[in-house]
Amino acid sequence: MRVVSSMLAAMTAACVAFGLASSARAQQPLRVGFIPVMGAAQIFVAEGEGWIKQAGLTLNASTFESGPNMIQALQSGTLDVYVAGLAPLLVARSKGIDVRIVAATVVEEMGFATSAAFSPLIEGKDPAGAFKAFREKNGRPVKLATQPIGSGPNTALQHWLWEVVKADKADLQIVEMGIDATQRAIATNAVEGGSVREPALAIIRKQNPAIKLIATGKDMFPNFPGVVVAVMGPFADKNPKAVDGLVRSVIRATALLKEHPEKAVKHVGTAFGNGLVPDDILLEALKSPQTQFTSDPRRIEDSTKKLQDYQVKIGALQKAESLEGLFAFDIYNRAAAN
């Protein structure tokens, strides 16, 4: 458990070094906020390969426990770039925050895993029936850990439970916590299951093979829009070349991750665990079906509409807003062409 619980601390240390990179051509460092999941890998691969520097940029990166936590930083003006789940951006826009998606990084990254103690009770069975049987036997609902309301993991989990599995809400208790705490809770049997993404899934299953992945991202919410790269509107307007350079670097990193993941391991390893996570586990996480890298934001345009509608249904949003201006397709198209 030492590896999982130390991931955020190690990544924070990595971020310090990450922000110290310099370039004679560089402008003011981009203030980047990210969450410690594989969907943020492009940023670290681009930095490790030197593409960020080639674009005349330096990055000052900060780790956050969830996308919703990052919204406050966006609102206060302390971040230029957001690398986390799309779902919280819908909440941000409902609050009048001008933030624009310039690239996607991954789709269908969410998974539902169960603790070693609960896995035998649900694996291969009807999940709704397993939840009900547990409550009747133990006199309490099944506890499932996920990130705060409005986040991608929370939204995908609720969609799977209520729309796909058709579970009885009386049988379940959703416990909101950060990414690192969720991983620890699943690994230590503190909860019966919860939301999990790579590389945490590969790490905790390596530590305890009895932990099972019960539902994939495709099972939970097909083509679910995962982590994206978004920039604050005022920053994008004032620094178009910097944003173009960042997006070009993300596109190159996506290609490397998809075609030669073994070459990306060293860069990902520096970020995820600062060398504490073995390369074989990181490579497994990069090749996982839970890690479907992409960079074209057009792939998630339709599913974003479905995501917003469902967030309204579960109360994460008061109403569906127009998505006009959320996707900066012109920036992505220009970067892809170059």
**270 and 248 share one domain:** yes
Whether residue 200 contacts residue 161, with contact meaning beta carbons closer than 8 Å, is answered with no
**36 and 120 share one domain:** no
The residue written with tokens 């896995």 in the block is 119
Domain boundary among 167, 192, 220: 220
d(CA 338, CA 334): 7
**265 and 303 share one domain:** yes
pLDDT in tens, 51-77: 999 999 999 998 888 788 888 888 888
**210 and 234 share one domain:** no
**264 and 311 share one domain:** yes
Backbone angles phi, psi at 225, to 5 degrees: -75, 115
pLDDT in tens, 72-111: 888 888 999 999 999 999 988 888 899 999 999 999 999 9
pTM comes to 0.85
Domain with 187, as residue range(s), is: 111-220
**181 and 323 share one domain:** no
**128 and 183 share one domain:** yes
**191 and 240 share one domain:** no
- Bin 30: left if φ > 0, else alpha if -120 < ψ < 50, else beta: beta
Backbone angles phi, psi at 284, to 5 degrees: -60, -40
Torsion of CA 108, 110, 116, 117, to 10 degrees: -120
**81 and 131 share one domain:** no
User: C-alpha 110: how far from its chain's center?
Assistant: 8
Whether residue 104 contacts residue 295, with contact meaning beta carbons closer than 8 Å, is answered with yes
Cis check for the bond before 199: say yes or no (omega within 30 of 0): yes
Number of domains in the chain: 2
Q: What is the CATH number of the domain that holds 330?
A: 3.40.190.10
Domain boundary among 157, 186, 220: 220
pLDDT in tens, 181-237: 999 999 999 999 999 998 889 989 998 999 999 999 999 999 999 999 999 999 999
Domain boundary among 220, 245, 261: 220
Side chain identity, residue 226: G
- Strands 106-107 and 292-293, by their bridges, are antiparallel
Structure tokens that stand for 317 in this block:
């949003």
d(CA 156, CA 224): 8
**327 and 189 share one domain:** no
**39 and 84 share one domain:** yes
**201 and 147 share one domain:** yes
d(CA 110, CA 198): 9
